[in-house]
Amino acid sequence: MTERYSKYCITVLLLVVALMCSIRVFATPFNDNEGGFPDELFHVGRSLQNTIRISELINFGHIDNSVDDLAGFSSRVETVCELGIEKPDICPGYFESRVNNVYPVSSGNIRGKGVYIFHGLMQLVLHNVNVGFRIYFARMMAVMIGVLMVYVIYRLSFLLFHDQRLAIAVAASIGLMPSVSNIVSAVSTEGPALLAVALLLLSTTIIVVQGFSIARLLLFGFSVLCCLFTKITAIIPLPILMLFFLDRVGFSWKKLLAVFGFLIVIAITFLRGDATKAGVAHWYFERNPGLVSVHGTPVKLAYQVFYKAYGVEKNIKPNAIANDWAIGYTCLTEFDNISCDSFPSQFSNTIVQFLPTREAKRLAGKIVTFGSWMYANDGEIVSSPAIVLGYDNANQDVVGGSQHTGNGAWEFVVNHIQLPNDIRDIGVSLDASNQSLIFWDDIVLIEGLLGAEGGPPVFDNRDSSSGVWNGIRFSNLLKNGSAEQHWNNVPDSLWSFMINYGTGTWANRLNGQLFTLYDLDRTGSGYFAGIRAMFVTFWGSFVGGDWPGLARWHYVVAIVFVIISLYGWLRYVNFDSKLKVMPLGLPLYFWCLILAYLITGILRMEISAEWVPPLYYSTSRFVLPAIIPVMLLLISGLVFLTSRKLSRLLIATLVLLIFLANSWMLLRVELPYFKCDIEPRWVCTDL
């Protein structure tokens, strides 16, 4: 391919990418509940706040007050202050309030500072326009970033392959990928993160291929800064890149990994002493998963209390095994550093534990016995433990419980219920609404009818996992019913580090991620579902990458090409001396980068044991920069096939199919969805 012809091809490619993205710019509604990117309004708000600050700094004049209308497009916030615009006249004291401290609305503001300053500067050219025009303008600036990203990938690919055709194929496959085309058509930090990672890989490859120079080091330093101030997922390549450069100067990978592992062991040992008690293991306060997506609302475990400290004696409980801890709820500050009503919109006063889904399905249609030792003040009416039948996070039935009048002593309260046949998830609920003091201990959920008459159960051990009841042996289906086991929070120093150098949202998720690993019996199915969601949104998605936008047969085609490429890489491994396509060491770096992004995507999933189902949210947009090494390696694998003619045919077919899939998603899914006036809007699409 001649240089002139290659310039013509890349120009056409950039125009096609810009055209398809521009159609999305003007077709996608602003409202986040009509198909708009939910986070776009937050990014626009933070950008306009930077416009205000810059205009005040340089005495450029005030921008118009149309920014006040921005909150009208959001279904998740009430004021523009929650979108990051500081307007004391609209919401006085908001940024000094406790709500703002609990809800980190500025989460990502530091990490995305480069994006917001860029958009803030661009908005300075607009005067006396409505906020809708500002959003369209910001989207077109985002498209410009996307087009630049495609060109950078083209330059990167040419350096790697020394082949114009392959370079154009890689750039086209990424620029026309439905998921990429959608995200760079909206105001986001994901699009700039793609550009930042592409610049980092380009500057690294230039140094590897051409050696060090001042200009190349300056380009490398600029790309590192772009990664640091774009999005936290753009930082993922940096530690792997450091290992790569150390390997290039003579350090072996084995030694580097050994040192890295040793440092991790030291860090874990050091941080363990910094952890504090989080609460009762496996028992969670109910938490609205919808708030987690926006604010990273932290997980909260039930309070573990030493009830004798409240003058409550345990000898009232005729139990064979002594245990001194219980689940407690009180408005006394000993249980927390805040009062009972400090989290009215984040947490309910209900504590739950759900069984693993496979266990719940096994109990369908059967009779179960459930109950616990309870302590409440004399004359106080309290709710006994109840069964929760969960269908999803919005549809749950609480059944089988009863009202109980406390007498100032421990009492064992038991109930029975026959479960329906169509249940999905089963849990036990402890309701502490409007109670000043209540304790639960030795909570049980048992298959079958027990305790209808006679005394309370006698347990075999401190964790109340088994015992004898009226002469019949039983196994408790609940974990830690005795509340003896507790979990620790993540170390405070790690939380502070993430707050200062990461994002508040990620910091607030740390405990939740840790507890999902402890509760893997319950959350394991969520991880499998989350990986599947990451795969389908990686190739094609809209609404900012949150919803899959392709049909199942599209993913079958993608899997076929991945398998063919892996076969090519197997040939590369077997015939390493004959097949060369990239500079030495870079393929291993790209494989490690993909693995790092996969781990990041798993950690970014919103999974928790108290939700039905455990997975609430998973998407690939947080790891979308992985599309660059994925497509580089995928096309490299096709190059390694036995026939050059077959390789070229498959690569050309791949690019064509990606373009057709992008067009199909735009015309058959996105546009019909945006125009649909029927709920659910999916009925108007071809999905």
Task: Provide the pLDDT for residue 273.
Answer: 57
Element (H, E) at 123: helix 113-123
Task: Provide the pLDDT for residue 319.
Answer: 43
| Cis preceding-peptide flag for 456 (omega within 30 of 0) | no
Cβ–Cβ < 8 Å for 321, 442: no
Q: How far apart, in whole angstroms, are the C-alpha atoms of residue 555 and residue 538?
A: 10
The conformation of residue 314, written as its DSSP 8-state character, comes to: G
Alpha carbon distance, N-terminus to C-terminus of the chain? 40
Chain position carrying tokens 């009492």 = 411
Q: How far apart, in whole angstroms, are the C-alpha atoms of residue 687 and residue 631?
A: 26
> Would you list the DSSP string of 357-389?
HHHHHHTTT-EEEEEEEEEE-TT-EEEPPEEEE
Domain(s) labelled CATH 2.60.120.260 in the chain stretch across 279-488
Q: How far apart, in whole angstroms, are the C-alpha atoms of residue 404 and residue 381?
A: 6
The conformation of residue 94, written as its DSSP 8-state character, comes to: G
Q: How far apart, in whole angstroms, are the C-alpha atoms of residue 344 and residue 109?
A: 26
Q: How far apart, in whole angstroms, are the C-alpha atoms of residue 181 and residue 557?
A: 19
> Would you list the DSSP string of 33-88?
TTTS-TTHHHHHHHHHHHHHHHHHHTT--PPPGGGGGGGGG-SS-SSGGGGT---T
Query: What's the rounded mean pLDDT across residues 139-153?
Result: 97
Task: Provide the pLDDT for residue 268.
Answer: 63
Structure tokens at 101: 């401290």
510-538 core/surface letters (b: 16 or more CB in 10 A; e: else): bbbbbbbeebeebbbbbbebbeebbbbbb
Say which range, 255-269, 283-297, 388-402, has the weakest mean pLDDT.
255-269
Query: What's the rounded mean pLDDT across residues 119-127?
Result: 89
The answer on pLDDT for 11 being more than 90 is yes
- CA distances to 98, 196, 201, 241, 313 from 213, rounded to whole Å, are 51, 21, 16, 18, 76
Query: What's the rounded mean pLDDT across residues 122-144?
Result: 92
Span 211-233, pLDDT tens digits? 888 999 999 999 999 999 998 88
> Bigger pLDDT: 253 or 544?
544
Average pLDDT for the chain: 83
The answer on pLDDT for 25 being more than 70 is yes
| Cis preceding-peptide flag for 613 (omega within 30 of 0) | yes
Span 457-498, pLDDT tens digits? 888 888 888 999 888 899 999 999 888 888 988 887 787 777
> Bigger pLDDT: 333 or 32?
32
Say which range, 302-311, 367-376, 461-470, has the weakest mean pLDDT.
302-311
CATH topology of domain 279-488: Jelly Rolls (2.60.120)
Span 659-685, pLDDT tens digits? 999 999 999 999 999 998 888 888 898
Span 490-521, pLDDT tens digits? 887 787 777 777 667 777 788 888 899 999 99
Task: Provide the pLDDT for residue 269.
Answer: 61
Q: How far apart, in whole angstroms, are the C-alpha atoms of residue 339 and residue 20?
A: 53
Task: Provide the pLDDT for residue 62.
Answer: 64
Task: Provide the pLDDT for residue 341.
Answer: 40
Task: Provide the pLDDT for residue 98.
Answer: 45
